[in-house]
Amino acid sequence: MSRKAANILSAQVILKPDCVLGLATGSTPIGLYNQLAAWYRKGDLDFSKVTTVNLDEYKGLTQEDPQSYYYFMDENLFQKVNIDKNRTFLPDGTEPDSEKACRQYNDILASVGQVDIQLLGLGHNGHIGFNEPDTFFKTETHCVKLTEQTIKANRRFFASEEDVPREAYTMGIKTIMSARQILIVVSGEDKAEIVKKAFFGPITPQVPASVLQLHNHVILVADEAALSQI
């Protein structure tokens, strides 16, 4: 799964060296980032002109916090390849004023131009980025209160459940849908049911990822377990 997804992202970087990649965190894309870094080390990929914009960031965490998504991206990709860090963007988790943080990120997104490929993972409740069920499809960057399910799912990365931030800044569904292409990676049997709902069920804000059925260029890359119900 990771290699196939990495092939698609690397083809984009080769075809358009100054592309804009929309990136995601979570455990699912780690193998993909490792593969991209390995191809970079081999001399097959050049990230020097690439711009990246990430989906989301926890509100209240600094870039140095090992649980922040900035830290994750730095550890898993940015410091392993020749990307210009001035061209890597995430929402500013340290900005306490949510409106300001979201406005600033929307401005950044507007200035970098259309995302060529947006990478996505899939939450157990169908969330994409941190767009939890019942998010309006028309939203841009906004501040979200994480659901209990998401807090529990992300608890494994923190010392205790109390340490998991309760809020996050995330690109909205409208922002995600405006990407030229979307690449969604999913693995594991625990995601099989939500894959079926998202891609073969009704399009509804209750399953945020179901909106992807309305996008004209979506690639789903998944392992057999995640596809076992379709």
Least distance from ligand GLP to the Cβ atom of residue 15, Å: 25
What is the tally of helices (H) and strands (E) in the chain? Answer: 7, 9
127-146 binders of ligand GLP (CB under 6 A):
129-130
Residue 183, strand partner residues: 119, 219
Q: Is 82 a catalytic residue?
A: no
Residue whose entry in the numeric block shows the structure tokens 């340290």: 94
Q: Where are the strands (E) in 147-230, listed by range?
A: 167-170, 181-186, 218-222
Q: Which two tokens stand for residue 194?
A: 């939500």
Per annotation, catalytic residue among 7, 34, 106, 125: 125
Per annotation, catalytic residue among 54, 56, 131, 140: 56
Given a contact cutoff of 8 angstroms between Cβ atoms, the answer to whether 8 and 221 are in contact is yes
Least distance from ligand GLP to the Cβ atom of residue 197, Å: 15
Closer residue to ligand GLP in complex, CB, 46/147: 147
Q: Which of 52, 88, 150, 210 binds ligand GLP (CB under 6 A)?
A: 150
121 binds ligand GLP (CB under 6 A): yes
User: Counting beta carbons within 10 angstroms of the beta carbon of residue 31, is it exposed (0 to 12), middle (13 to 18) or buried (19 or more)?
Assistant: middle
Binding mask 48-87 toward ligand GLP (x if CB under 6 A, else -) reads -------xx-------------------------------
Catalytic positions are 56, 125, 127, 132
